[in-house]
Chain A
Amino acid sequence: MKGQTVDDDQLFDVPGPRGRRRIRIVTAVSVLVLAALLALALRQFAAHGQLAASQWQMFGNWAIIRFLLDGVGQTLLVTAVAAGLALPLGALVALVRLSRSRVARALARGYVELFRAVPLLLLLYIFLFGLPRTGLTFPVFWQLVIPIVLGNAAVLSEIFRAGVLALDRGQSEAAYSLGMTYWQAMAWVVIPQAVRRLVPTLVSQLVRLLKDSTLGYVVSYLELLHKAQVLGEYYHSVLPTYLVAAACFVLINTTLSALATWLERRRRS
């Protein structure tokens, strides 16, 4: 039972002999059911030739692996650039929302409410079909990255704001009493502490941002998903390529999440 937290066991007493017998029976039945489901899926795949070697042997070809790896690289590049822009922008919006000027606060709040409520795809379509009519055109990379940045900055600013608000009030009060201005107190006292606490949450948000990068599929930017589409259609093996792409995403994202857990544990200890 590795990987499960103790809390999941809190509903149950340590089972007695009858309970243990019942658990054994349910275990056996569920193994049978799960195996049957797997067999059914495999049969369905085999019946339609999806398990044939011809569908899968291309993934042993180095050129194709490199093609997909390049897609992984592009996905990571979009993620890194978008995160690199969204993090400072989100922090800035959060600071404005916490500032003393009422007008600035309202503006920042409007930004957050708006960009949290607009689906990313709609934002992308606006950049793809709307803005070019007004004479604003961007290269494909930025058509993908700018909407991701705008949307994620709104979410990130809420995370930052919650982090700052969760910090003990005395911290900023002490900074003021030392004669620091608002911005000095934020920069030297509040933000460094808030960010440290927020690292795990920020990493989970990074996973969401990475998932957003798949919208490159829509603007024809060759990140992992779009590359998988090209490859699958060229070799007539749509299902295997998408499955491989999905597996890549699981691998990358679980690595990131594991990093977050590790950081959290290190902070606690």
Chain B
Amino acid sequence: MPTAVLSQLGDGLLVTVEMTALAFAGALVLGVLLAICRISPVPPLRLAGAAYVTAFRNIPLLVLLVLFVFGMPEVGLLYPLFATVALTMALYWAAFVCEVVRSGVRTVPRGQIEAARALGLTFTQCLRFVVIPQALRSMVQPLGSVFIGLALGTSLAAAVGVPELTGQAQLVTLKYDNPLTSFALTTAVYVAITLTSGLIAGRIERKVAIKR
């Protein structure tokens, strides 16, 4: 296989990695904010958070991508393609992160929170010493799944014209007429990404696990 093919696939991998990192960071920040809205005692924030999660979890990612990529310019919001796609990914996966955080908080037994309160811990102390340390640990594995889903999901960017790994694989196929080798190579890269992330998530989880 010519080195040009490898370097083209390498470029694609770089775009995939960049997009995964950016979108995951964005999804984490937005998802935590959404979760705070959803567990806050403020009704309109709860409602808005719930509506957001319902909408973004039920619209297919590809629909969101075409909606943002082709729709945003129609209302005068013209940004670079990469930025638009990364933003869309972050918005989509934030809904899933929000649900992970929310169910993570729920894994903390109610009795512990009541006990913390009975001991006179303030709300912030209760969060800092009782809720957050335990909730974070139970979020590791599901957040790992979200990360893997996001990393694989970035491939959809190829459908709207971002030359990431899957897109480059297709371009290389058309250009050098070597469909099976380039597709096999790309598949191997995705398998490597998935297996490593799964392994890392599992290791972190074991390390921070609480024996109950």
Contacts and interface: CB of A to CB of B under 8 A. Distances in A.
A130 B159 contact: no
Interface residues of B, number: 60
Main secondary structure of the interface of A (DSSP, over half): helix
Contacts of A15: 41
A239 interface: yes
Contact of A225 (B40, B60, B155, B194): B60
A10 B114 CA distance: 9
B136 interface: no
B186 interface: yes
Given A15-B41, A130-B183, A214 B60 contact: yes
A34 interface: yes
Nearest to A116: B194
A53 interface: no
Contacts of B187: 114, 117-118, 122
B210 interface: no
Contacts of B180: 130, 133-134
Contacts of A259: none
B62 A214 contact: yes
A225 B44 contact: no
A142 interface: no
Interface residues of A, number: 60
A108 to B, nearest CB: 16
Interface string A182-206: 0000000000000000000000000
Nearest to A208: B60
Main secondary structure of the interface of B (DSSP, over half): helix
A249 B60 CA distance: 7
Interface string B57-78: 1111111101100110011110
The 6 closest A-B CB pairs, nearest first, are A119-B155, A211-B60, A117-B194, A253-B58, A130-B179, A239-B71
Interface of A: 1, 3-4, 7-13, 15, 19, 23, 26-27, 30-31, 34, 44-45, 47-48, 50, 113-114, 116-122, 125-126, 129-130, 133-134, 207, 210-212, 214-215, 217-218, 225, 229, 232, 238-239, 242-243, 245-246, 249-250, 253-254, 257
11 contacts: A3-B50, A11-B123, A12-B41, A26-B42, A129-B173, A129-B179, A214-B60, A239-B71, A242-B67, A243-B71, A249-B63
Given A122-B186, A239-B67, 7 more contacts: A3-B50, A30-B45, A120-B155, A133-B179, A211-B62, A217-B62, A239-B71
